[in-house]
């Protein structure tokens, strides 16, 4: 039996090496730019990096990214002026768009539709509303020169906190161990397509069963709707707190959101307090083809075109 195990081990070792080579040859694994925190405590990408972002298996969706001098994914540098009409798009990975070639980003699509304006995309994967308002505040000089700012917000994920602090977990992705692991492209690829999820889930299951977490009771189920209401109140309070802390220029700033996934109390609050909204719900609803990527939760090229069109319609240079 030892012979069998040794042979299997030997074969697996050699096969893994060949697979690593094949993954590199076909560039199946995504490149990840390096991140840092600048002097204004804004987390972003280290400037001037290039690479290929890959989502899904068999490299079915891949796109080039280019991190500019400002530390964001864009085909251009950000040099706001008083003379030129500029639009800033602030958001998370949906706006950042590593899923599409940087020369076809939402910003570029808006520029194509409205040639008179320049669009600067201040977007970074994982940004929430606190990150976004902190960024605008930190780069006040630039944003004062920018004519319009659109902030992409998802009520359910972007209002979990009411004050800004650097998220250490994200920075921990830069740890020496993580950097070393990222060098193994086979690992990066298998992780990205979910091959490693089953072992991770199994370990989590085992840990949970060892901790013997109590089962959900009827009382707990009843509490769910109550908790949901509490969550809306908490998120709304976080929004108010952040707006109070950093300010919100209602003349120049708009919120880009999907009214279909946003709770009514929040929408009512925005309306009552004259926040400008760009709603893309109808645009996605009337889509004639899928708007999301196959292996990813982000918009595909068509979805991004619809978002860009929706924004273009509301911007008057």
Partner 1 sequence: MLFNSFAFFVFLPIVFFLHWKVFNKKKQFQNLFLLAASYFFYGLWDWRFLFLIVASTLVDFYIGQHIYKSNSLNQRKKLLWFSIIFNIGILFFFKYYNFFIDSWVSLFHIFGIELKNTWTLKVILPVGISFYTFQTLSYSLDVYHKKITPTTNFISFATFVSFFPQLVAGPIEKASNLLPQITQKRTFNYTKCTEGLKLILWGLFKKVVIADAIAPIVDDIFQNYANYSSSTLLLGIILFSFQIYGDFSGYSDMAIGTAKLFGIELISNFKFPYLSRNISEFWQRWHISLSNWFKEYVYFPLGGSQYGLTKSIRNISIVFLISGFWHGANWTFIVWGSIHALLYIPIFYTKNNRKYSNTIVAQTTLLPSAKETINIITTFSLVSLSWVFFRAQSITEAFGYLKQVFTNFSFEIYQHPSGYRMIDYYLILILFIIYEFRIRKNERAPFNFSPKALRFILYTLIIFCLVLFFDDQTDRSFIYFQF
259: nearest Cα among 240, 283, 241, 242: 283
Backbone angles phi, psi at 61, to 5 degrees: -135, 115
- What sign does the CA torsion over 166, 169, 122, 70 have? positive
Counting contacts by CB under 8 A, is residue 290 touching partner 1? yes
Counting contacts by CB under 8 A, is residue 317 touching partner 1? no
Counting contacts by CB under 8 A, is residue 193 touching partner 1? yes
Span interacting with partner 1, options 32-40, 54-62, 116-124, 129-137, rule CB under 8 A: 54-62
Counting contacts by CB under 8 A, is residue 207 touching partner 1? no
Span interacting with partner 1, options 4-12, 90-98, 120-128, 218-226, rule CB under 8 A: 4-12
The count of residues in the chain is 317
- By CB under 8 A, name the one of 138, 295, 309, 314 that touches partner 1: 295
Which residue do the tokens 């730019």 mark?
A: 33
Which residue do the tokens 């993954």 mark?
A: 23
Counting contacts by CB under 8 A, is residue 18 touching partner 1? yes
- By CB under 8 A, name the one of 40, 166, 173, 195 that touches partner 1: 195
Quote the least distance from Cβ 18 to partner 1, whole Å: 5
19/243 with CB nearer partner 1: 19
Counting contacts by CB under 8 A, is residue 25 touching partner 1? no
- By CB under 8 A, name the one of 189, 235, 239, 266 that touches partner 1: 189
- By CB under 8 A, name the one of 166, 294, 313, 317 that touches partner 1: 294
Q: List, in order, residues 6 or more apart from 79 with CB less than 8 Å away.
A: none
Question: Quick count: other Cβ atoms within 10 Å of Cβ 266?
Answer: 18
26/36 with CB nearer partner 1: 26
Q: Determine the number of helices (DSSP H) and then strands (DSSP E) in the chain.
A: 14, 9
Rounded to 5°, angle at Cα 24 from 123 and 66? 25
């Amino acid at each position: 039996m030892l012979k069998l195990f040794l042979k299997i081990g030997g074969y697996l070792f050699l096969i893994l090496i060949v697979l690593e080579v094949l993954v590199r040859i076909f560039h199946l694994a995504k490149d990840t730019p390096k991140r840092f925190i600048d002097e204004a405590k804004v987390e972003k990408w280290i400037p001037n990096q290039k690479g290929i972002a890959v989502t899904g298996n068999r490299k079915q969706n891949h796109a080039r990214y280019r991190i500019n001098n400002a530390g964001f994914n864009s085909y251009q540098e950000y040099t706001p002026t008083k003379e030129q009409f500029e639009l800033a798009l602030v958001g998370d990975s949906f706006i950042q768009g590593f899923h599409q070639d940087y020369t076809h980003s939402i910003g570029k699509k808006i520029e194509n539709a409205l040639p008179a304006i320049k669009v600067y995309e201040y977007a970074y994967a994982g940004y929430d509303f606190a990150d976004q308002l902190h960024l605008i505040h930190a780069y006040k000089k630039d944003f004062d020169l920018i004519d319009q700012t659109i902030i992409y917000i998802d009520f359910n994920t972007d209002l979990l906190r009411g004050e800004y602090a650097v998220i250490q977990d994200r920075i921990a992705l830069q740890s020496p161990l993580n950097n070393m692991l990222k060098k193994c492209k086979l690992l990066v690829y298998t992780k990205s397509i979910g091959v490693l999820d089953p072992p991770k889930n199994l370990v989590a299951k085992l840990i949970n069963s060892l901790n013997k977490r109590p089962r959900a009771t009827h009382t707990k189920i009843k509490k769910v709707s109550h908790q949901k209401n509490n969550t809306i109140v908490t998120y709304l309070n976080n929004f108010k707190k952040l707006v109070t802390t950093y300010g919100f220029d209602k003349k120049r700033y708009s919120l880009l959101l999907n009214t279909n996934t946003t709770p009514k109390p929040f929408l009512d609050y925005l309306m009552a307090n004259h926040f400008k909204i760009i709603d893309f719900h109808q645009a996605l609803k009337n889509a004639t083809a899928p708007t999301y990527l196959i292996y990813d939760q982000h918009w595909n090229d068509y979805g991004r075109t619809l978002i860009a069109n929706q924004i273009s319609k509301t911007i008057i240079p």
